[in-house]
Structure 1
């Protein structure tokens, strides 16, 4: 007996790279982890203290499907303080990570057979999740000429209409960002054409010289997705949120009740404290900035000269077409020869990804510096 065709989606290849890296570590060999988009630091001290208090005092039962009121209120306050945008807390849905948010948002917004556009390269789970629910991903080939971001011009070249558009700023894997003018133009095009805008904002807070713009500031119809995983350094707590247009709040609530019941209660209670931890969190961002500067200086010495701007997030996306036409094999050799784990571009761009790879600089400064040293020596010995 065969399983459902919905499960016949490609793997998330970075997880395959991590598996190989962990196998190397189990064999007693060292690994420098530049493959995974995960902060090397844990949750802020205030969050840990709140979690300990909750464990001592709270039975941690189910919560409302949309999240506990104090957390929804804290998120609304964050939008007022961070972006100057008034968001009604009743439009906020707390989710099981951004992954849960995308599942709920896609199910609420799109029907089987709909088409949803996105940049290529982009986060692979967009394509895979849409495919699993019967929605067609429509990839917009982007490059340096468009800042690796979708544009109105690319959308207007499509041969058939789309019902949705996903944007990410800062983006994974490129770290590129949309300006307010660019995001507004895309939002206006979506509104004029009856297209649902989905804005992935999980790397907000991780920017280097340019402030990220939330889609909540330029469109009331957009689905805005964010997470406690990246800036807030809480990946394993599995907690995210959405800002929803009013007409999607009840559909998302019903879906969440049936699919998830609620996001993890301990994580919700503790996360309220996260918004008071910005001094600690901004120190992490300063470390990422130093790692970014180091790699932008050192990677060209190893021959990596065609790099996406990396204005945000903690990734550098490198064109390696002058080194290999198989970035998967290239990354495998890199791990075997140097202990550096990096991600081939096939995760992010099925058509052109064999000519690209992604380096994460979310780790410690010592690890990133040692990776740069080994990479230069490896390339010079090639």
Structure 2
């Protein structure tokens, strides 16, 4: 028996149970997974329809040149930086981007730091690759934001070679402003730590402009995806930006690990990049959902329910109701038909008192969930 710190991805476990309830005729309000409720833009659907009329074989491991060129243009147009298409690799969602980054960018035994709370797949992927991890706690007192001082203190306690940070963040929705991100990157440069910027929730910012790590340095790594803003979770398509020496290593690994991302999904992604007006309109619907959910959760008695700055999550303190949100979420699903994710998914130490709710779906689903939760909490 091999001992492993890998834990279940509880959001997916809750989803599986919710789908089983629905298969038996039950009704579930899905607030557990970070999945946009809308379908891709009409231009995307049309692009895919055209794909079906011609052979769709492998692309190169780095992806279609046209898509990499267009992604290069994205950084020029939206972030004011020149990024060579040669430094861009199209990936099978952000997940394969993380795998390739960890394998190409770090030697066996090197340590990678992540925030706590944070996306659970980070720790599970690192454990699967036998790479040690370091967790740096962030707190609601500072808006769940990591600071350069946090990094320096954690490094002094236990040095690490890499740091992975998401902004906007999952599960908290915390957004680093330009100065905050610049300070973090400068701290990593001073310590000799490779910085990995998870930017998959870019363009889902309700407080200002997103800042890319590429605006400060070309030495670090950026991972992004079409899953969230572009409503393409199941299409499994993302991208990775690295220095040219690292991207070549990642390319050689991808040739054997993944061969290439889906050619159909790459055509869809190319069309999505030209449909931003559609997706910006959808972001406005998330903003409305965000406020309705925040007001509703506060009214029900949850703590820390102020609207998040980015992504599409509310990460709230459920301690007025429970000290075991795993049990709380399972009971709420089984008895009230509301699916939410327990905080243990994101924080293995303090997550027992937190719950994450997603507001990426329809407003009527959120309103129904709040009504059901009111009855559940009164029992």
TM-score (norm 2): 0.97
Q: Distance in 1 between matches of 2:98 and 2:172?
A: 20
Which has the larger displacement, 147-156 or 74-83? Answer: 147-156
Instruction: Work out whether residues 176 and 309 of structure 1, in 8 Å CA contact, stay in contact via their aligned partners in 2.
Output: no
- Residue in 1 that maps onto 2:84: 88
How far 1:177 moved relative to its partner? 0.7
Please say if 1:44 is aligned against 2:44.
Answer: no
Task: Confirm whether residue 279 of structure 1 aligns to residue 277 of structure 2.
Answer: yes
1:333 to 323, 331, 334: 331
Aligned residues: 377
Equivalent positions of 1:1-382 (< 5 A) are 9-57=6-54, 59-158=55-154, 159-307=157-305, 309-379=307-377, 381-382=378-379
Provide the rounded CA distance (Å) in 2 between the counterparts of 1:309 and 1:171: 13
Cα contact 1:204–1:231 (8 A) shared by 2 = yes
**Distance of 2:319 and 2:150 partners within structure 1:** 24
Equivalent residues of 2:290, 2:307 under 8 A apart:
no
User: Pairwise CA RMSD of aligned residues?
Assistant: 1.3
Query: In 1, distance between residues paired with 2:117 and 2:330?
Result: 21
**Structure 1 residue runs without a partner (length 5+):** none
Could you tell me which runs of 5 or more consecutive residues in structure 2 were left unpaired when the two chains were aligned.
Answer: none
Shift of 1:268: 0.7
Instruction: Report SS of the residue matched to 1:225.
Output: strand
1:378 Cα deviation from its structure 2 partner = 2.5
How many angstroms apart in 1 are the aligned matches of 2:335 and 2:146? Answer: 37
Any conservation in 2 of the 1:335–1:341 contact (CA below 8 Å)? yes
Tell me if structure 2 keeps the 8 A contact 1:174–1:308.
no
Distance of 2:335 and 2:299 partners within structure 1: 18
Using structure 1 for the length normalisation, give the TM-score. Answer: 0.96
2: CA distance between counterparts of 1:63 and 1:283?
32
Deviation at 1:376, TM superposition (A): 2.5
**Which portions of structure 1, spanning 4 or more consecutive aligned residues, are displaced by more than 4 angstroms?**
none
Give the drift of 1:368. 1.0
